[in-house]
Structure 1
Amino acid sequence: MSPLLKTVLRFGLIILALLILFQLTNASLFIPSISADFVIGIAAIILIALGVYLGKAVRKEKVVEVKPSSVIDEERILSLGISPRELEVLQLISEGLSNQEIGEKLFVSESTIKTHISNLFVKLDVKRRTQAVIRANEWRIIP
């Protein structure tokens, strides 16, 4: 069923429920034996049922992103001359940590981290942290 047809059917059901509600209120005016509470109760049941039905129909499915198995290319790391510490820094950059947070985590100064990042930029031939992470993922340097 096309999305357009689904949308048209949903709006049609809403309009139908409203028309039924209006007709029930008219019936209570012409038939005095029908109480207003009964009409309100019937309308509530109809609208709740419609809401539950439309809620199930509209619910979106969860999208789960699955990363492909990441096999690290050790030869590429060696050919680029990336040290184990630079690789560690690159991994922490990919986790979104700042220079200060990386320094605290690795127990080194922020200027040392800046030096490692500068060396990584040269070795990966990039100018920004995001480019470094993208290139590292493309070249399978980090998982």
Structure 2
Amino acid sequence: MKKLQKLNRIYWIYGGVMGLLMIILQVVHYKTLVRELEMDVYGGLIGFLFLVFGIWLGTSIYRKKAPDKYDRNKLGLSKRELEVLELLAQGLSNQEIANKLFVSLNTAKTHISNIYSKLNVKRRTQAIQKARDLALIIHQKDDIE
């Protein structure tokens, strides 16, 4: 709902600015006829204003926000599930995860199933991506740097 309200607000702002620019264009056009000035100068200026406004609007809508420190307890992931999630992100198989944590294969699969349900995903890759987006695990590129 908030996203829809924000989008509506952006559309109203965009519409208002476009309306103002159209008024400015009409005033400039009138002054051009009265003073016999070149329209190319004003057209270029207004085109530049549209370009700058479009770039600003596009970056404000599609700006990717940096993930905040996410409270892991909001998802209800246990410490063990976070360990399993880290191992999933490292690319280990279910059997390798079970061996590394000294648990049975069925226990590892249960942890993975719980992670999927808490993150509301269906596949391993989705779980890893969502965990990275929520800053539950660190990108491997960040580990190197």
TM-score normalised according to structure 1 size: 0.48
Larger radius of gyration: 1
- TM-score when normalising by structure 2: 0.48
Q: Which has the higher helix share?
A: 2
